[in-house]
Amino acid sequence: MKLISISLRNLRIRLVATVLTMMSIIVATALYAAILVMAEQTEARYEGSIGGFQAIAGPNGTSELELVLNTIFNVGEASGRIPLEVCEQLRSSRGSRFKRSQVRYAIPQARGDSISRFNFPVVATIDEMFSKFEWRREPLKFAEGAPFEYSWDDLIALANGLAAHENGKRAELEVIPERPLLQKKWKQAVVGSRVARSLNLKLGDVVTPVHGKLGEFDAHEHPEAACAIVGILEPTNSPIDSTIYLPLGIHLLIDGHAGGVFIQKLVKGKSPVQLEGMPVDPMRIALTAVIADPLDHMGSQILRTQFGSHEEAQVAWPQDVVPKFLRQIGNAADALAVIAWLVLLVAAVSITVAIYNTMNERRREIAIMRSLGARRLQILTIITGEATLLSFFGAVLGLVTCHAAEYFMRGTVEDMTGVYLDWTIFKMWELYLVLGVSGIGAIAGLAPAVKGSMTQVADNLTQNY
């Protein structure tokens, strides 16, 4: 028999009070741990997810953060469009005074559709997303299958065809060039690992994009754009896992997108109505973003200069934007952590009150122990031990609750924030949290412990209760 077994037994015989008091510790610890987990995994997720997205070109008039969040993290809606010529400028060196391109790749993207009730975003792009784009300095790997085939040249050819058709219509020609047809060979999709896992998709299965998001007003399916899955990506633990990639040709040709394919350039002295009648340029095909990777530091500086004064597009640098964003999240997390500490403080007070209130009824029990030779310090240890054990078990259960909540809510949290909560990760700070909460509990137990240790032995031994 040890002092700790007496403490444990005392907790057990007051089970209801013990459980109720422990609940407050569990809630406080779970709350604090959840805040830390969210902040930490958000930071890891956001910092880890920018590998490969060196520069993102997007429309002017939107914030860099919005552009980064939408393009990399699938958060929010694309807030504007840029013409294909921005991508072309990046790929060549057009528009800059340098003779060669300053990027290793520039990959066009268009988004706006989604798939399933999980609203997995559909990103229309070209095959360079799987051949040139580098995720943490390596091309995206396929768990199964292979990339779809839709090249930059296919895109340019389609843009020319669409422009010829549109210009024929606008010029009211007798023979209007035919609008390019959606080719069967383009109806291919590559899906991220989480999409495949969540929707139980395998190679050959068909996914049908929904315009907008399922459940939203005006959302509708595009059955004509239903694509067979040709590739499933390996997990990257990034938003790529939750993305469906389709050829840009599909995006440009599906019903309802025709009117918005081209962005008309503003011309001084021309009204919007007049602009609608003017010929379109194939390079004015609308995109939502371009992912680029500067060749080197010099390339980055050149892009900054080039796009610093661009009339239609801007370049956002995730490496700059994400840390600023995380600092803001960090501030919010700090504020929440203060609230969690206050909850913990209230819980500690509840321990003090709960144990203190039992001291009167325990005077005889303490007197008996003292009469057997227990020193005041041993009584102090037993009672403080009760508070410490109460807090320890509360803290451990709080962490278990936190991890259970992560497990059950990980899908919802990912859908809402783009952050995938990995409930299996246990960090060192969790041990420190348990020790810290136990320490606070021990301090909370001191007041009743002192009262208990001061119990008058003779008076309480002779009383009959």
Residues in touch with another protein (CB under 8 A): 1-3, 6, 9-10, 12-13, 364-365, 368-378, 457-458, 461-462, 464
Nearest Cα to Cα of residue 194 among 238, 147, 226, 230: 238
**Shortest Å, Cβ 43 to another protein:** 48
- If one counts every other C-beta atom within 10 angstroms of the C-beta of residue 17, the result is 15
Nearer residue to another protein within complex by CB, 146 or 461? 461
The first and second tokens of residue 423, run together, are 């409930």
Find all residues with CB under 8 Å of 377, minimum gap 6, and list them.
Answer: 453
Minimum Å distance from CB 358 to another protein? 13
Cβ distance to another protein smaller for residue 228 or 457: 457
- Rounded-to-integer distance, Cα 398 and Cα 341, Å: 14
Alpha helices in 53-182 (DSSP H): 64-73, 84-91, 128-131, 152-170
| Closest distance of CB 408 from another protein, Å | 37
Which of 2/268 has CB closer to another protein?
2
CB-nearer residue toward another protein: 181 or 372 = 372
Q: Which of these, 294, 281, 247, lies nearest to 90 by C-alpha position?
A: 294
Closest to another protein by CB, 9 or 427? 9
Rounded to the nearest whole angstrom, what is the least distance from the CB of residue 376 to another protein in the complex? 7
Minimum Å distance from CB 446 to another protein? Answer: 19
Q: Measured from the CB of residue 360, what is the shortest distance to another protein in angstroms?
A: 16
Conformation bin of residue 371: beta by default, left when phi > 0, alpha when psi is -120 to 50: alpha
Instruction: Provide the 10 A C-beta neighbour count for residue 420.
Output: 21
Residue with tokens 């069967």: 184
CB of 15 to another protein, least distance (A): 11
**Which residue lies nearer to another protein by CB, 13 or 175?**
13
Q: How far apart are CA 403 and CA 423, in angstroms?
A: 5
- The minimum distance between CB 375 and another protein, in angstroms, equals 5
| Amino acid at site 107 | I
Identity of the residue, 351 or 369, whose beta carbon is nearer to another protein in the bound complex: 369
Nearer to another protein, 8 or 443 (CB): 8
Distance of CA 449 to the CA centre of its chain: 47
Shortest separation between residue 362's beta carbon and another protein, angstroms = 10
Residue 263: φ, ψ to 5°: -105, 120
Contact 195, 120 (CB under 8 A): yes
C-alpha span between 428 and 235 (Å, rounded): 26
Measure Cα distances from 393 to 3, 427, 448 in Å. Answer: 17, 18, 19
Helix intervals (H) in 84-151? 84-91, 128-131
**Cβ pair 96, 218 in contact under 8 A:** no
Least distance to another protein, CB of residue 454, Å? 11
Nearer to another protein, 2 or 297 (CB): 2
Whether the Cβ atoms of residue 366 and residue 460 lie closer than 8 Å to each other: yes
